[in-house]
Amino acid sequence: MSPGLADALAGVHEVFANLLIALIVLHVLGVPIDRLLTRDDLVSAMITGEKAMKPGFDPAQAICSSRLLIAVTLALAAIGATGYIAVSG
């Protein structure tokens, strides 16, 4: 393997390692933030696999309404990763 390719791959590895760490931190911070916003006990739900539904909750709507949030989250992650690569590369 050429030194240039090795350096390039090491850089890509570092970017993805840092991105993974950032995603883990965001994921862990999401639990207390969700607790403050919704008053739901996610930790117990993750341990037991059961979560009490709120009155009037329609499970079919939960998936549809979360698509925009997922799209925005992925777009922000892509923008952040691109910016990181541009600055560090």
Residues 6+ apart with CB under 8 A from 76: none
How far is residue 15's CA from residue 13's CA, in Å, rounded to a whole number?
5
Residue-number span of the structural domain to which 40 is assigned = 3-88
Best-predicted range by mean pLDDT (30-39, 51-60, 61-70): 30-39
The tally of domains found in the chain comes to 1
Count of Cβ atoms closer than 10 Å to residue 21 Cβ: 10
How far is residue 54's CA from residue 74's CA, in Å, rounded to a whole number?
28
How far is residue 65's CA from residue 22's CA, in Å, rounded to a whole number?
25
How far is residue 82's CA from residue 76's CA, in Å, rounded to a whole number?
10
Q: What percent of the chain has pLDDT over 70?
A: 92
Position 66 pLDDT exceeds 70? no
| Predicted local confidence at residue 1, as pLDDT | 80
